[in-house]
Amino acid sequence: MECMVRVEGGEVWADDTGVVPGPGAEGPPLVLLHPGVGDSRIWDRVVSGGLDARYRVIRYDARGFGRSPKPGTSYTQTRDLRAVLDHFGVPRAVLVGSSMGGSTAIGFTLEEPARVAALGLVVPGVSGYPGLDSAELTERIGQLAKAGDMDGLVALALGMWGAAGPSPDTEAEEALRAAIPAWFTTYGHDTPPPPAFDRLGEIALPTALLLGEKDQPEVVRSNEEIASRIPGCHLVRLPSCDHFPTLRDPDAVREFIEELYERAG
């Protein structure tokens, strides 16, 4: 069921597959949070490969991404996630977030641990981690945006995060072209989350982290440190993946999610 969900000062597009017969019928819903290099469609191949037949799956586009309107007021990603869960009557969920979505999932888990049955992190970001922000990269993105050079922005992003892709890298390019406008329409509205990196030791629920070994070295290093700080976190390495594992190896991502769901009981 597709619908628009009211969030504070706006709305987001969301989809709920509804309850289905299968191993996830009696358990909590599976909520998938997309990265900043794509919208909720980046999960399509993972979901259509069998997740939607086994579990109740909820996805939504963060403000400004995909089918969600651009924001006109300040907001936080965690409050929007809470609004989506409340809209669908979900008291507790298995959260799986990729990159930006991973950061949101971590932040929400720290805020409301009772509402999270298990936490899946796919090449995640995390607030408060030093060394990932690059002033040079930010300046270059700004220059390309000011020039209206979408091709340049896509090429820059693929060079940073798409090392494992084919040539041409059609799927990743399409995801980026759809997502890049949101980098600018959400700027100044998306309120940065409080630092979470130093609080990762507080997470006390089934957690797994998937990293792509062809991702940026800084991202790989941060992912290793995130996994080491979360008690009992199961670390999965995909040697052939970069920052787009849902596109590069959807079967492996699906297996990662199903194993996490089993750990959630």
Q: Which domain holds residue 143?
A: 2-263
- Which token pair is 203? 């997470």
241: which residues sit within 8 A by CB, 6+ positions away? 123, 164, 212, 213, 214, 215, 248, 249, 252
Question: What's the domain count of the chain?
Answer: 1
Looking at residue 192, its pLDDT comes to: 94
pLDDT in tens, 95-127: 999 999 999 999 999 999 999 999 999 999 999
Of the pLDDT bands very low, low, confident and very high (cuts 50, 70, 90), residue 19 is: confident
Strands annotated E in the chain = 2-7, 10-16, 30-33, 57-60, 93-98, 116-122, 207-212, 234-238
Max avg pLDDT among 49-53, 115-119, 136-140: 115-119
- 24 pLDDT above the threshold of 80: no
At 162-213, the pLDDT tens digits run: 999 999 999 999 999 999 999 999 999 999 999 999 999 999 999 999 999 9
| The dihedral sign for the CA sequence 253, 44, 80, 112 | negative
Nearest in space to 1 (alpha carbons), one of 54, 47, 85, 57: 57
For residue range 198-210, what is the model confidence (pLDDT) as tens digits? 999 999 999 999 9
pLDDT band, very low/low/confident/very high, at 26 (cuts 50, 70, 90) = confident
Beta-carbon count within 10 A of 185 CB: 16
Q: Measured between alpha carbons, how far is 172 from 178 in angstroms, rounded to an integer?
A: 10
CATH (domain of 136) = 3.40.50.1820
